[in-house]
Structure 1
């Protein structure tokens, strides 16, 4: 029974920063590590951890600036390079030499970057509504400026107004069909994020601030599953281009689903994750 599953939450000091990590299940198989998206936290995956914990050891982490992990003093501590080093430190601290890595949106960008930098620690990779970044320097510069203005607006207006605007973007339109209790739970998660931490995340590890990994996709030799919702036109297009870069990637499209698949279609999502991971032990 899922209600009997205990999700344990612990805090670890990794490279002088506190990280909160959720875990469930028994360490009898290669763990599955879930990485959340922007405005999210590891607890977003709690219902999923409970569904998978019977036969898998599962974890979810709060990134710096999100959830109850630390907010560094300087945005340079939140870059992609620093985040990858922190994830590596987490695996070493927990004595987890190999993981199945599953990342959503921002977490997917980080998961992809980690698999490229530390392939020896990744058994398989699942990218949910994720991208390899922006291909050109011009695109990245434009996005950096957009995110700078967005971070400034967030700090001036506060989380309440920022979240209200964020939830009206077309990317999340399909979530209007969620059960009210699910929608409200997700909204509470967004609202309890700290404005300074979220703003620093935009500046430190936003899509414009990270390197482009488009040309490195061909070098990725770990089993990789790209998941998209059919109603998410933007990331469906990105996924198609990623598949053109590496024909060994697998794809899974979820019908009647938008950007946030693990919330909109949790039962099928759990089933797909379970099948993919079990086929690449």
Structure 2
């Protein structure tokens, strides 16, 4: 399927998953495979990893859970170009082609949903189904985008001045994650450890290279999404539920599911309803 090497390195301690690396030459991407069946590529959120999908099972599908560059088991390149959106999209296509082949479904959460959307607009012919969880289509106003870029830079500098644990504590307290304080202590600790595990340099490079302040606005291109698409948001996350209601609900072949009692991270906060929404969408006869 590809000239790039896919090296299986060990079994995971989590569900029956297999961890592997895809070597791109100067650096490599970490991937975990879970389940069996049709390929469903999964992209995680900022400061997370592919292990965020541990509790998600989709019968008939193999979850190909990719760690984006600088996150999880993926390398941390010294060249910050690796963290830029164009390079990441190109690298992701290489990784996905090597592991999933030429036809697959694609799912992303938060930052991963933004990347999945941009990826789907570029490689639409390969994607059977698109699932976006709490994702944005970019900031239309140049002034607002520049303001977000400046805010991301301030956060990047603060992260560089501190460490992963400082960031994990600060990130857990932002308003968009307030509903996660109701999760069990065990789940909250796992989430904290995944966030704290990150390199301050990698987090800062991600904000500068692929944060919302540098993401191109693509709201005017949503009509180009020809594949069946699903947008999932939590009812407690009013910002992203509004995005789903106002824009994605008007895109042909796109469904919007709002999960009650969930905030920004629906698959973590309400995994049961999240998997039900996935099943209803993926198994629907069209």
Match of residue 30, structure 1, among 25, 38, 56 = 38
Tell me the distance in 1 between the aligned counterparts of 2:110 and 2:146: 20
Residue 32 of structure 1 aligns to a residue whose secondary structure is strand
Tell me the distance in 1 between the aligned counterparts of 2:285 and 2:111: 24
Aligned length in residues:
274
Q: Deviations over 1:195-233 (max 9, x none)?
A: 111111111100111111111011111111110000001
Tell me the distance in 1 between the aligned counterparts of 2:208 and 2:14: 40
Provide structure 1 residue ranges, at least 5 long, that are not aligned to the other structure.
none
Return the TM-score normalized by structure 2: 0.91
Tell me the distance in 2 between the aligned counterparts of 1:278 and 1:58: 16
Residue 54 of structure 2 aligns to a residue whose secondary structure is helix
Q: Deviations over 1:129-162 (max 9, x none)?
A: 0010111222221111111111000010222222
Q: Deviations over 1:236-259 (max 9, x none)?
A: 122222236525421000001100
Q: Which has the higher helix share?
A: 1
Alignment of 1:1-281 (within 5 A): 5-14=15-24, 16-26=26-36, 29-48=37-56, 51-52=57-58, 54-94=59-99, 96-243=101-248, 245-279=250-284
Cα RMSD of the aligned pairs, angstroms, is: 1.8
Tell me the distance in 1 between the aligned counterparts of 2:15 and 2:168: 31
- Asked if the contact 1:25/1:57 (under 8 Å) is kept, the reply is yes
Return the TM-score normalized by structure 1: 0.92
Query: Deviation at 1:90?
Result: 1.1
Runs of 4 or more off by more than 3 Å in structure 1? none
Residue 47 of structure 1 aligns to a residue whose secondary structure is coil
CA 1:211–1:123 in 2, change beyond 3 Å: closer, same or farther? same
**262-271 or 32-41, larger mean C-alpha shift:** 262-271
Provide structure 2 residue ranges, at least 5 long, that are not aligned to the other structure.
1-12
**246-255 or 170-179, larger mean C-alpha shift:** 246-255
Q: Deviations over 1:76-111 (max 9, x none)?
A: 221111111111101222251111111000000000
